[in-house]
Each structure stands twice: as structure tokens, then as C-alpha cells.
């Protein structure tokens, strides 16, 4: 029998603010444990939270990017639970009046585009970070109170690949909107996944299980593949899927029940009495809407159209808005946007990845890349030399023409000097010359290679080939 | 009013045994009975708030008619680490040491 999975995601995104959600403590990652804390985020009695305006703005901007309705009236609620990472014994979250309602994230799977509808987007505080030791645990409250935006999708993804595509599309939107750094290694994006399967033809959704707290999109993909197969196996064997909370064991590649969820939970939501409701002035929301960036999908289409790029290039360049910005800045200065794109997609991305750098860390300017493309197109630089110059520009910056001059890297196209070398090579390689005269094209390449070698790599191979052809007519 | 009447008449009464379980607090049967009695009295007192007729009044999430109180996103120094950790029952590598947390 065929089974249809239904997958919903709850994505927790750390917002890019300088201070926490309800107090002025810093949010810098990697600080000494318990060094960015105060009585508010440590949950001391008698302290009062005050909402960070920027966190509200970033949440609403996200909502606007995905077409949510921005609630005219929103409030915060207490979610009660007892766990060592939550010092107040409740988390301030939003229950029935989130900041954003509805909206959708479009995904592309197997060439077709489909909007995945969202339920809501709300704002809450993050919990502390636990470290586990043999027999005990340790708690660092630096992360407690950091603003966390939760994006909840409808359960309308039907394969692990769709869930993966959703996360990628969402990440692009978040990067474009500048609302989060989306640094997965630093846990900026964490994901709870719920999933059920039902026999094809059946309308009602099956019993769902929840997989908690995945940090990488690959983990979501693998956990879902495993969990769907597991549920189908249970149903095929005539069993019933139990509603439970699971965690994904990365090493073993299996989902296992979470022991902490065996305890009773009763969140007892109620309005947070220490915070006032939020009723955003319309003018604020309209100002934020007016300042929205071009969405990634629109930009992809525009790059392909405006610069005549293949879809593939446009997709690679727009995956990170900073790469797309760099491309556009350079392409506007160059008559050869495709060459600009090639440099960014290959050399630049390779060097950035090797050194774990962000596009803004490279020293090369858009002007320098455009000039480098011009030097290659004009025949001054060959491909090997151009890569060398690019590496210098990447690491040190500067002007490509000057680098070429200083290092004597310009290709020699001078017909006199090259002609002499061509004569010498023909004289020394009579067999190859004879082969070419008999019509063997490959023999010419051997001769070009010899001239290149004698010139120390500085000869322009196109010019050399022309000179040789002339002499071998 | 006795505590028994108070509980019977009010679905919002506090079930001490249940709340203690949620809060991971071990109570002796005597403590449970005592807290139940005391909390029932508190609830019975607070229930006075149900007496006024509120039909036709829009519910509110807050008693103060003020909205949109925000602060700027400006970080400022928190507490000194020595001061923070002075309150920890035990410390391990700069962390609050707690009983093993299960996942
Ligand atoms: Zn704080």
C-alpha cells in the first residue's frame, strides 16, 4: 500500500539583536559561561522584563516577507514548566495572540513550485544551554532570554525532501531580511519536526510523532526518512503509531523516545502580567513593509533575466544575499556578467569555504573583479595567471592591472618574440610539424605547449596557435 | 466555608498532589493535606472576583490600559560573574552544576 506522509515544522530562529529579549544583557556567541546575565534573565524574583523593540520589528519583518497578517493586537503569555534551563520555571512566549498569522513559504521540488502555508510566527525567550557530564549537568544562562522567533508551518509537506526544501527557502528569506545570521553551527536555527503517515486515499491524518531540536537541515532530512519508514513499518505490521516525542540519535541513525517527555506537562498558559500588550501602530508596520528587501525568488528570476545568466548561476548566487550583492555590483561594471558569475561561483566560493569566511571578509572589490574579467577578455591574462591574480585580490585586495604589471604576469602577444619561439619549436619538432601538415590537429596543440613552456607560461596561447598555423600552411 | 465546600463548588480549585508532581516536589501526605487546606482557603477568598456581573465586558489581557512599552536594543553590562556564581549551589567549568538532566 502507498502511504502519504504529512510533515509540519516548528522552526526556532535566533534573531539578530544586540541585547536579549527582556533585558539589556548581550547576545554575543561564545562568551565565557554565565558572563552575559542579570537578575532578569536569571529569573530573580521582583525583576521586571521590558520588550526589546528590535526583536518585535524583526519578527514582523519576517511575517511581511512571507505574507503573514500582522496582528493588530498581540500579547505575551507564561508557559509554565520545570526544567533546569528555565530559571523562572516559566518561559515568556506567545500563546493565542502571536505577532504574525498565516503566510506561506514557496518551495521548488522536482521542477514544480508550491507554497507551504504557515500557521503563525511568534516571539519567545530562549532557554539556557545545558552541558552534560558523567552523572550531572551544567547550565550556562548566557542564552537564556535571547530572542527566539518560532515559525510554525501547517503539516503540508509530503516528503523529507520537501521539508528540506522548506528549510532552505526559509533560511534564504531570513538571510535576505537580515533578521538572523542563520548560523547553524551556533544553533541559530533549531527545528522541531512533526510527522504522520496515512494510507493513500484516506483523508484523515495519521497519528503524529514529534522529533525535537534538530540543528542541521541534513539531520531533519535523515530523521524524517527514518521516522516515515518506521511508521509505515508499524502500520504494515498491523500495529498503531503511538503519539510520542522522539529525539534523533545522530550516531545510531534512529529515533528514540525522550525520557523527559514521560513526565507530565501542563503548561498552564496565562497572560504575562509583567508585560503590556503590543498593538503596533499601522505606520510602523507600513514603514517596515516599504523597506523590505527583494525576496530571494524574485531576485533569482531577475538576475537570470537582467544579466542573461543560466538559472543555475542565478540560484547559486542568490542563495546568499551577500554573494548576489557582490555579483550585481561587479556585473554592472562589466560587459561580461557570465564571467563575473563564474569567478564568484568557483574561485570565490572555494576560497571562502576553505577559509570559513563570509563574502564580506574577502578583500576583492566588485571593481577589481570587473577589471580582472576585462584583462582576461582582452588577452592580457591567461586562465592560470588570472587565477593567481584572483587569489592575490581575494587575500590582499588591490588593482589587478597593477598586480599583473608588478609581477610581470602579462601574456606576451608580441609577434616578433613569439614568432622567434615558434620558428625554434617547429625546427626542433619536425615530426609534430609534419603530422600537423598532414591534417592532425592534435599535433598543433603539442607545438603550442612547447612555445608556452619556452615562454615561461607568459605566451598567449591563442596568438601562438595563430603564429604556428601561419608558419605550417 | 469549609475547604470541602470550597473545592466542590469550584472547578478551578488547586489539586496540590498534581501541581506538586508537575513541579517535581515531594510532599508527605501530611504536607499535602495541609497545603490543600490552605490553598483552598486562598482560592475561596480570591473567588470573590467572580461575583461582579462581567457579561458584556470585553476580556482584557492586562489591568493597565497601556500598550507598546519597549526598550531600545542597546546592550549593557550584566552582573559580575563572581557575584552570579556565588549563588550557585555548585559550579563546574563556570556552569551551574545541577543533577543530571535527561533528554
Ligand atoms: Zn539579563
Residue B27 included in any domain: yes
Residue B10 included in any domain: yes
What is the spatial distance between Cα B54 and Cα A57, in angstroms, rounded to a whole number? 35
**Average pLDDT estimate for B1-28:** 67
Q: Test B22 with A265 for CB contact under 8 angstroms.
A: yes
Cβ atoms within 10 A of the Cβ of A51, count?
A: 20
A161-164: Cβ within 8 A, 24+ apart? A161/A109, A161/A221, A162/A7, A162/A107, A162/A109, A162/A114, A162/A116, A163/A7, A163/A9, A163/A193, A163/A220, A163/A221, A163/A224, A164/A217, A164/A220, A164/A221
Closest-CA residue to A343 (of A302, A379, A319, A374): A374
Q: Tell me, what's the pLDDT at A110?
A: 81
Is the pLDDT higher at A191 or at B3? Answer: A191
| All three cell numbers of A322 | 551577500
> How far away, in angstroms, is A43 Cα from ligand 1 center?
9
Bridge partners, A116 (sequence order): A105
Largest CA distance in chain B: 58
Nearest CA in chain B to A136: B100
Residue-level length of chain A: 473
What is the spatial distance between Cα A37 and Cα A50, in angstroms, rounded to a whole number? 15
Which of B18, B63, B70 lies nearest to residue A53, judging by beta carbons?
Answer: B70
pLDDT, tens digit (0-9, with 9 covering 90-100), for A244-254: 888 888 888 88
Closest-CA residue to A465 (of A448, A450, A443): A448
Identify the contact set of chain B against chain A, taking CB-CB distances under 8 A. 18, 21-24, 61-64, 66-76, 78-79, 81, 84-85, 92-103
Residue B82 included in any domain: no
pLDDT at B54 over 70: yes
In order of start, what are the domains of chain A with their CATH numbers?
A: 3-287 (no CATH), 296-407 (no CATH), 415-472 (1.10.10.410)
Residue B31 included in any domain: yes
Q: Tell me, what's the pLDDT at A84?
A: 85
Residue B79 included in any domain: no
In chain A, positions 273-332, which contact chain B (CB-CB < 8 Å)?
273, 275-281
Q: How far is CA A16 from CA A9, A118, A182, A470, in A?
A: 21, 22, 9, 64
> With helix as H, strand as E and coil as C, how does A44-79 read?
CCCCCCCEEHHHHHHHHHHHHHCCCEECCCECCEEE
Per-residue pLDDT tens, chain A, 473 aa: give them.
799 999 999 999 999 999 999 999 999 998 999 999 999 999 999 999 999 999 999 999 999 999 999 999 999 999 988 888 889 999 999 999 999 999 999 998 887 889 999 999 999 999 999 999 999 999 999 999 999 999 999 999 999 999 999 999 999 999 999 999 998 888 899 999 999 999 998 888 899 999 987 888 999 999 999 999 999 999 999 999 988 888 888 888 888 887 666 565 688 899 999 999 999 999 999 999 999 999 999 999 999 999 999 999 999 999 888 999 999 999 999 999 999 999 999 999 999 989 888 877 889 999 999 999 999 998 888 888 899 899 999 999 999 989 888 887 776 666 677 788 888 889 888 888 889 888 888 888 888 888 888 877 777 787 888 888 888 88
pLDDT, tens digit (0-9, with 9 covering 90-100), for A33-81: 999 999 999 999 999 999 999 999 999 999 999 999 999 999 999 998 8
Residue A192, C-beta contacts closer than 8 angstroms, at least 6 positions apart = A9, A10, A12, A210, A211, A212, A213, A214
Are A449 and A459 in contact by the 8 Å Cβ rule? The answer is no
CATH number of the domain encompassing residue B36: 1.10.20
Are A49 and A181 in contact by the 8 Å Cβ rule? The answer is no
**Average pLDDT estimate for B67-86:** 95
Closest-CA residue to A4 (of A245, A210, A186, A202): A202
Which of A32, A258, A280 lies nearest to residue B103, judging by beta carbons?
Answer: A258
Q: Tell me, what's the pLDDT at B70?
A: 97
Q: Test B68 with A276 for CB contact under 8 angstroms.
A: yes
> How far away, in angstroms, is A88 Cα from ligand 1 center?
13
Tell me which residue has cell 507600513: A286
Task: Name the average pLDDT for chain B.
Answer: 84
Residue of B65, B75, B91 to mutate when probing chain A, most A C-beta within 10 A = B75
Q: Is A110's Cβ below 8 Å from some Cβ in B?
A: no
* DSSP label at residue A185: G
Closest-CA residue to A362 (of A401, A324, A323): A323
Nearest CA in chain B to A90: B23
Residue B70 included in any domain: no
What is the spatial distance between Cα A118 and Cα A68, in angstroms, rounded to a whole number? 8
Residue B36 included in any domain: yes
Residue of A21, A244, A273, A276 to mutate when probing chain B, most B C-beta within 10 A = A276
What is the spatial distance between Cα A194 and Cα A191, in angstroms, rounded to a whole number? 10
The domain of B40 spans 1-53
> How far away, in angstroms, is A145 Cα from ligand 1 center?
7
Residue B17 included in any domain: yes
Instruction: Report the DSSP pairing between strands A104-109 and A77-80.
Output: unpaired
In chain A, positions 238-267, which contact chain B (CB-CB < 8 Å)?
247, 258-260, 263-266
Q: Is A229's Cβ below 8 Å from some Cβ in B?
A: no
DSSP secondary structure, A433-456, as one string: HHHHHTT-HHHHHHHHHHHHHHTT
* DSSP label at residue A38: -
The number of distinct structural domains making up chain B is 1
Amino acid at each position: 500500500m502507498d502511504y502519504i506522509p504529512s510533515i509540519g515544522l516548528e522552526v526556532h530562529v535566533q534573531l539578530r539583536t544586540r541585547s536579549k529579549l527582556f533585558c539589556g544583557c548581550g547576545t554575543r556567541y561564545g562568551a565565557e559561561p554565565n558572563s552575559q546575565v542579570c537578575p532578569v534573565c536569571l529569573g530573580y524574583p521582583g525583576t521586571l522584563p521590558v520588550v526589546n523593540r528590535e526583536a518585535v520589528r524583526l519578527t514582523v519583518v519576517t511575517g511581511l516577507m512571507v505574507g503573514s497578517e500582522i496582528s493588530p493586537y498581540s500579547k505575551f503569555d507564561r508557559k509554565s514548566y520545570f526544567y533546569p534551563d528555565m530559571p523562572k520555571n516559566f518561559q515568556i512566549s506567545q500563546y493565542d495572540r502571536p505577532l504574525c498569522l498565516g503566510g506561506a513559504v514557496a518551495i521548488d521540488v522536482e521542477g514544480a513550485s508550491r507554497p507551504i502555508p504557515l500557521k503563525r510566527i511568534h516571539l519567545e525567550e530562549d532557554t539556557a544551554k545545558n552541558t552534560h557530564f558523567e552523572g550531572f549537568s551544567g547550565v550556562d544562562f548566557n542564552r537564556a532570554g535571547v530572542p527566539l522567533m518560532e515559525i510554525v508551518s501547517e503539516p503540508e509537506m509530503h516528503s523529507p525532501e520537501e521539508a528540506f526544501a522548506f528549510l532552505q527557502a526559509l533560511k534564504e528569506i531570513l538571510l535576505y531580511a537580515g533578521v538572523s545570521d542563520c548560523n547553524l553551527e551556533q544553533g541559530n536555527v533549531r527545528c522541531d519536526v512533526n510527522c504522520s503517515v496515512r494510507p493513500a486515499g484516506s483523508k484523515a491524518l495519521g497519528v503524529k510523532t514529534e522529533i525535537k531540536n534538530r540543528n542541521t537541515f541534513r539531520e531533519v532530512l535523515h530523521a524524517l526518512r527514518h521516522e516515515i519508514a518506521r511508521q509505515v513499518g508499524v502500520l504494515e505490521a498491523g500495529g498503531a503509531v503511538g503519539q510520542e516525542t522522539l529525539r534523533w540519535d545522530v550516531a545510531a541513525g534512529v529515533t528514540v523516545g525522550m525520557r523527559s517527555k514521560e513526565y507530565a506537562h501542563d503548561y498552564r498558559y496565562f497572560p504575562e502580567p509583567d508585560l503590556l500588550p503590543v498593538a503596533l501602530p499601522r505606520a510602523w508596520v507600513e514603514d517596515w513593509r516599504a523597506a523590505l528587501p527583494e525576496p530571494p525568488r524574485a531576485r533569482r528570476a531577475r538576475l537570470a533575466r537582467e544579466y542573461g545568466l543560466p538559472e543555475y548561476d542565478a540560484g547559486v548566487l542568490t542563495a546568499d544575499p551577500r554573494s548576489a550583492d557582490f555579483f550585481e555590483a561587479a556585473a554592472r561594471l562589466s560587459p561580461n556578467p557570465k564571467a563575473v558569475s563564474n569567478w564568484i561561483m568557483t574561485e570565490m566560493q572555494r576560497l571562502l569555504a576553505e577559509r570559513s569566511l563570509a563574502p564580506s571578509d574577502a578583500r576583492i572589490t566588485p571593481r577589481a573583479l570587473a577589471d580582472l574579467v576585462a584583462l582576461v577578455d582582452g588577452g592580457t591574462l591567461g586562465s592560470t595567471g588570472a587565477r593567481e591574480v584572483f587569489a592575490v585580490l581575494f587575500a590582499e585586495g588591490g588593482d589587478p592591472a597593477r598586480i599583473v604589471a608588478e609581477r610581470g604576469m602579462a601574456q606576451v602577444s608580441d609577434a616578433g618574440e613569439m614568432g622567434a619561439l615558434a620558428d625554434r619549436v617547429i625546427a626542433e619538432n619536425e615530426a609534430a610539424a609534419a603530422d600537423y601538415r598532414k591534417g592532425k590537429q592534435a599535433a598543433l596543440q603539442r607545438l603550442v605547449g612547447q612555445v608556452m613552456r619556452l615562454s615561461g607560461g607568459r605566451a598567449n596561447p591563442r596568438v601562438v596557435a595563430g603564429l604556428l598555423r601561419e608558419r605550417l600552411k | 466555608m469549609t475547604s470541602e465546600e470550597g473545592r466542590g463548588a469550584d472547578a478551578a480549585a488547586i489539586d496540590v498532589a498534581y501541581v506538586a508532581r508537575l513541579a517535581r516536589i515531594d510532599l508527605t501526605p501530611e504536607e499535602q493535606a495541609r497545603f490543600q487546606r490552605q490553598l483552598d482557603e486562598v482560592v475561596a477568598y480570591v473567588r470573590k472576583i467572580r461575583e461582579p456581573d462581567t457579561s458584556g465586558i470585553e476580556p482584557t489581557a492586562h489591568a493597565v490600559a497601556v500598550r507598546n512599552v519597549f526598550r531600545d536594543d542597546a546592550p549593557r553590562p550584566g552582573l559580575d560573574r563572581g557575584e552570579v556564581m556565588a549563588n550557585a549551589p555548585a559550579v563546574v567549568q563556570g556552569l551551574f552544576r545541577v543533577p543530571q538532566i535527561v533528554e
